[in-house]
Amino acid sequence: RHFRSAARNAKSVRPVLSRLGRRVRARRMELGLSQETMAEKMGLDAKHLQLIESGTTNPTVATLAGVARGLGLSISELFLSE
């Protein structure tokens, strides 16, 4: 049996994912990198990075660690206020 948390689809999660996506995109742009180049640096598929930046996917902690590392940030810095 497969269990999933109902919290992953809660309405309160959407704004957090949206802010995360904006933060990731802004930092990538600061670094002057395309989605394709940054995704490769992070060890992600470019489509996955696109979904993160658009706030339409709920990345795992492992994915967030790769994203943060690729951006030169800590995981906590990904969630700092804009």
Cα Rg of the chain, angstroms: 13
Q: What is the pLDDT of residue 80?
A: 85
Q: Does the structure show a pLDDT above 60 at 3?
A: no
Q: What is the pLDDT of residue 12?
A: 83
> Mean pLDDT across the chain, nearest whole number?
89
Q: Does the structure show a pLDDT above 90 at 49?
A: yes
Calculate the alpha carbon distances from 7 to 38, 58, 72 in Å.
Answer: 29, 11, 29
Predicted TM-score (pTM) of this structure = 0.85
Q: Does the structure show a pLDDT above 60 at 1?
A: no
pLDDT digits (tens, 9 = 90+) for 9-26: 677 889 999 999 999 999
